[in-house]
Amino acid sequence: MEMNMTPQFAKTLGSIAYANGLPCAPAASPEFMAAINPAIGSNIDAMKAWLSGWVEASLAA
């Protein structure tokens, strides 16, 4: 299901991952891993956005 991962979508997936009790690691999110481009180095912005969403959700809790 590879698609164009926008930063906002990645951030939302990070927030959802926190709510579901996943660790702060994008690789632990099956939805995130299924949606990113598998090419090495092509997902840095998406990973940063995912982490941002996870951290913001944890701080808001």
Of the chain, the end-to-end C-alpha distance in Å amounts to 31
Q: Whole-model pTM?
A: 0.90
**Of 41, 37, 43, which Cα lies nearest the Cα of 1?**
37
Q: What is the pLDDT along the chain (61 residues), one digit of tens a residue?
A: 445 689 999 999 999 999 999 999 999 999 999 999 888 988 999 999 999 999 999 999 9
Query: Rounded CA gap, 3 and 33, in Å?
Result: 11
**Lookup: tokens for 35:** 């949606």
Given this model, what pLDDT does residue 3 score? Answer: 59
Residue ranges per structural domain of the chain: 7-60
